[in-house]
Amino acid sequence: MKVLVVGGGGREHALVWKLAQSSHVEEIYCAPGNAGIRNEATCVAISPTDIGSLLTFAQENAVGLTVVGPEAPLVAGIVDAFTAAGLAAVGPSRAAAQLEGSKIYTKEILRECHVPTGDFEAFDAPAAAMKALAGKSFPLVVKADGLAAGKGVIIASDKTKAENAIRTIMEDRAFGAAGSRVVLEAFLEGEEASFIVLTDGETILPLASSQDHKAIHDGDRGPNTGGMGAYSPAPIVDAAMHQRIMTTVMEPVIQKMNERKTPFRGILYAGLMIKNGTPYVLEFNARMGDPETQPILFRMKGDLAETFLLLHKTELHKARLAWRSDPAICVVLASGGYPGAYEKGKPISGLRELDTLPNIKAFHAGTETAPDGKIVTAGGRVLGITATGKTLAACRDRAYEAIEKIHFDGMTFRKDIGMKGIKRQAR
Ligand code: GLY
């Protein structure tokens, strides 16, 4: 079978790497891919949001399975288009992808299902949102309603900062049309975890838990990014918490989507804040997380392509996935300036040396091959150095030792990836 992976980040590199291990897969295409994916799949220069060209490519190349990495094509209806053409594509319909496409939609679903989440109010005009600030406690979370590449969430420590956030989102339109509506949400303290499931609408198959590090700086300081590192499993999600997340979050939401006649079929990712034993939903994503996918797939035992095909056929109950007991970690190396403006085209050294190390993989994100054949930076998040080891501390040491071999001008990364998990295990 030929497989098409849509996207070109670290998540997609990890998907390509894992799918290539399947006995069902004879060839992988990736649109558009990156300099690392190029070594493991045939890269195709089509944008992930050019659904018409992706569909034509899949039809002309007899693609048997399409796996969609990023949210934008899902929210734009790529799965509906492929399904209408009789092609298998993994991911929710446009209607169901609203669980990621609109924060207000998600909050309404959560409220209907009585799923724990921060108290919130939604506004479609800045004046009304500003007025409502008078009755709020701070810090307050100000969120753009629509897609904003993980950056549309601002934590305002006081009223003035909340007013500025509303202006940035709704008046300056810093996140484009995503800011036509805004959510003001109570700030929740606790520890974050990512919980991702595969579902065909009938069976819910949980993947291993993980924890992301969204802020740019150590100690969770600074603006949010797409994710600066992740590890799996997350010790905070023990067996009892796993069960609680399934019964109080995943099962009611997936049932509600069925009742609404917009079944969610694909990958559902709950971003959770765990506080006093209760998992509160911060957000849903309609796809795998990036960089959570990298450590999760490093630990996955089983055939991912076969599992996706079973999901497509609504036979997910037949899937058999298991997890290596060894944890895995991914540390993201980013361009200087990210998540703000950054330069591209910086040559990356040390990748060959890293390739020779055991239990380590550099998943590429924002990289490309320059005309002279050198691999250069081409995005904010550049590489995800992923390592496995007997303990989380051993994974961490291995990843950070490997990072010493990599260099590009402006390279920046967090030094504390995995520390929360290590501290929790030491308690
Ligand atoms: N790592 C966060 C996300 O994928 O949205």
Alpha-carbon span 328 to 420, nearest angstrom: 14
Residue 212 CA: nearest ligand 1 atom is 1
Question: How far does the centroid of ligand 1 lie from the alpha carbon of residue 228, in Å?
Answer: 9
Q: Which strand ranges, in their side-by-side order, compose the sheet holding 266-275?
A: 204-206, 191-199, 266-275, 278-285
- Judge whether 349 and 408 are in contact, CB under 8 Å: yes
Residue 283 CA: nearest ligand 1 atom is 5
Element (H, E) at 353: helix 351-355
> What confidence score (pLDDT) does residue 296 get?
98
Question: How far does the centroid of ligand 1 lie from the alpha carbon of residue 331, in Å?
Answer: 14
Question: How far does the centroid of ligand 1 lie from the alpha carbon of residue 411, in Å?
Answer: 21
What is the C-alpha end-to-end distance of the chain, expressed in Å?
Answer: 48
- Judge whether 103 and 143 are in contact, CB under 8 Å: yes
Element (H, E) at 17: helix 10-19
pLDDT (tens digit, 0 to 9) for every residue of the chain, 427 residues total? 999 999 999 999 999 999 999 999 999 999 999 999 999 999 999 999 999 999 999 999 999 999 999 999 999 999 999 999 999 999 999 999 999 999 999 999 999 999 999 999 999 999 999 999 998 999 999 999 999 877 789 999 999 999 999 999 999 999 999 999 999 999 999 999 999 999 999 999 999 999 999 999 999 999 889 899 999 999 999 999 999 999 999 999 999 999 999 999 999 999 999 999 999 999 999 999 999 999 999 999 999 999 999 999 999 999 999 999 999 999 999 999 999 999 999 999 999 999 899 999 999 999 999 999 999 999 999 999 999 999 999 999 999 999 999 999 999 999 999 999 999 988 8
Closest residue by Cα to atom 5, ligand 1, is: 289
Q: What angle is formed at CA 163 by the lines to CA 160 and CA 166, rounded to 5 degrees?
A: 150
Residue with structure tokens 């100690």?
Answer: 219
Record the tokens describing residue 80, joined without a space.
Answer: 């509906």
> Which value, to the nearest 10 degrees, does the dihedral of the CA atoms of residues 146, 332, 189, 125 take?
-20
Closest residue by Cα to atom 3, ligand 1, is: 289
Select 189-323's CATH number: 3.30.470.20, 3.40.50.300, 3.40.50.2000, 3.90.1150.10.
Answer: 3.30.470.20
Mutate to test the pocket of ligand 1, among 75, 212, 294 (most ligand atoms within 8 A of CB): 212
Domain segments of the chain: what residues?
Answer: 2-91, 125-180, 189-323, 328-425
Question: How far does the centroid of ligand 1 lie from the alpha carbon of residue 290, in Å?
Answer: 5
Mutate to test the pocket of ligand 1, among 292, 331, 417 (most ligand atoms within 8 A of CB): 292
Q: Which residues, 6+ apart, have CB-to-CB distance to 138 below 8 Å?
A: 156, 157, 158, 159, 162, 187
Q: Is the pTM above the cut of 0.85?
A: yes
Residue 290 CA: nearest ligand 1 atom is 4
Record the tokens describing residue 262, joined without a space.
Answer: 């917009």
- Judge whether 380 and 342 are in contact, CB under 8 Å: yes
Helix axes 304-312, 10-19, angle to 10 degrees: 100
Closest residue by Cα to atom 4, ligand 1, is: 289
Question: How far does the centroid of ligand 1 lie from the alpha carbon of residue 194, in Å?
Answer: 9
CATH of domain 125-180: 3.30.1490
CA 241 to chain centre: 21
For the chain, the residue count is 427
Q: What angle is formed at CA 162 by the lines to CA 160 and CA 166, rounded to 5 degrees?
A: 120
- Judge whether 57 and 31 are in contact, CB under 8 Å: yes
> What confidence score (pLDDT) does residue 224 get?
86
CA 80 to chain centre: 21
Burial profile 79-96: b = 16 or more Cβ within 10 angstroms, e = fewer: bbbbbeeebbbbbbbbbb
> What confidence score (pLDDT) does residue 150 get?
73
Please classify residue 52 by burial: count the beta carbons closer than 10 Å to its beta carbon, then call 0-12 exposed, 13-18 middle and 19+ buried.
exposed
> What confidence score (pLDDT) does residue 389 get?
97
Alpha-carbon span 304 to 300, nearest angstrom: 9
CATH of domain 328-425: 3.90.600.10
Question: How far does the centroid of ligand 1 lie from the alpha carbon of residue 293, in Å?
Answer: 9
Residue list, ligand 1 pocket, CB within 6 Å: 150, 212, 226-227, 285, 289-290, 292
- Judge whether 145 and 176 are in contact, CB under 8 Å: no
Alpha-carbon span 80 to 197, nearest angstrom: 21
Residue 230 CA: nearest ligand 1 atom is 1
Question: How far does the centroid of ligand 1 lie from the alpha carbon of residue 134, in Å?
Answer: 32
Record the tokens describing residue 267, joined without a space.
Answer: 């990958």
Q: What are phi and psi of 382, to 5 degrees?
A: -105, -50
In words, the CATH class of domain 2-91 is: alpha beta
Question: How far does the centroid of ligand 1 lie from the alpha carbon of residue 225, in Å?
Answer: 9
Query: Which parts of 76-158 fold into alpha helices (H)?
Result: 78-84, 98-101, 103-113, 126-132
Residue 287 CA: nearest ligand 1 atom is 4
DSSP assignment of 374-389 equals -EEE-SSEEEEEEEE-
Question: How far does the centroid of ligand 1 lie from the alpha carbon of residue 190, in Å?
Answer: 18
What is residue 222's three-state secondary structure?
strand
